[in-house]
Amino acid sequence: LTVKYGKDDHTISGLSCTQTVKDLKQAIYERTHVQPTRQKLLGLKIKLNELTDETPLSALQLRPNMKIMLMGTKEEQIEKISETPKDMPEVLNDFDIEEEDVAIEDREEFLAKIERRVKTYKINTLNECRPGKKLLVLDIDYTLFDHRSTAEQANELMRPYLHEFLTEAYKNYDIVIWSATGMKWIETKLKLLGVSNHTDYKICFYLDADAMISVHTPKYGVIEVKPLGVIWGKYEQWSEKNTIMFDDIRRNFIMNPNCGLRIKAFRDSRVSRFTDTELVKLTEYLNAIADLDDFTTLEHRNWRDYRKKPTHKSLKRKERDSDESRHKT
């Protein structure tokens, strides 16, 4: 059995079908140093809510050389979270970035990188784009689900109201998923969440880390970003006027600051899933702006305060209703 953890593949052998998931997790711990209690195994032919430590390996339908994915954090990494680094890393600290601090969207060398991505990156279309629909680009980790929670069930990892949000958004927007991970990770996560085969909405396509580019900023150093120009260069019906991107990390849309909306990160899902209503509020925002011809007139950072301006038709309707009410009186 091959277990993929991060960028590394670990071979697990020496187990028999009569042994249990508990034995498998212990073997994985010996290779990866991820405690069994922190392990989440993806890619097994069994529902997560049916998987327990006592489940026999014979029930997992394992095949020779089968590959599964491990999610979990090593103890030493957890201990380092609270430590203050001696030297600030080259990678951008997201809490420091402001749009006005990094004006890089028009730099020639970065636009050239985008052009190369447009020419070389291959997009696998899952569902055809629909004429007249605006574009919604979504991150996965900490946006749609908590990928580092100690919870084990998909419904505990998933952000509340996810399917309701995607169903409602699909009415006015074509949906694209863009994650800074590998394509196999993306496919596995969305299958786990029940997104990839949902009947009430469709995803147009996925973009992975290979579609991103690295940029250098004088103040923050080298950062990896998600330039929407990669999509716009391949699909002429979309542009900054009808595209919006949700991501919990602001630097990801630094090349297109007017199109990005920084969503509140969904962490500690075992607790926060009982109170998190971010997707409900964002559904209202997407519906409110859906009829606009130009999204560049919006300040997405102020989305919580957005109030839809009444249209000429709605004003006429309101005036007519008022007249009818007076006549009845």
- Of 136, 110, 118, 116, nearest to 235 by C-alpha is 118
* Each residue's pLDDT expressed in tens, for the chain with a length of 329 residues: 999 887 789 999 989 989 999 999 999 999 998 888 888 888 887 776 678 889 999 888 888 888 888 887 777 765 554 344 444 344 444 444 554 444 555 567 788 899 999 999 999 999 999 999 999 999 999 999 887 765 566 777 899 999 999 999 999 999 999 999 999 889 988 998 999 999 999 999 999 999 999 988 777 788 899 999 999 999 999 999 999 999 999 889 989 999 999 999 998 887 888 999 999 999 999 999 999 999 999 999 999 999 776 654 444 554 555 555 555 55
pLDDT at site 149: 64
Domains and CATH numbers, the chain: 2-75 (3.10.20.90), 94-305 (3.40.50.1000)
The pLDDT value given to residue 222: 86
Q: In whole angstroms, what is the distance from residue 91 CA to residue 128 CA?
A: 36
Whole-number Å distance between alpha carbons of 281 and 87? 38
What local confidence, expressed as pLDDT, does residue 10 receive? 92
Cβ neighbours of residue 156 under 8 Å, at least 6 residues apart?
149, 269, 270, 273
Strand partners, 9: 4
* Predicted pLDDT at 109: 79
Strands 67-71 and 40-42: antiparallel
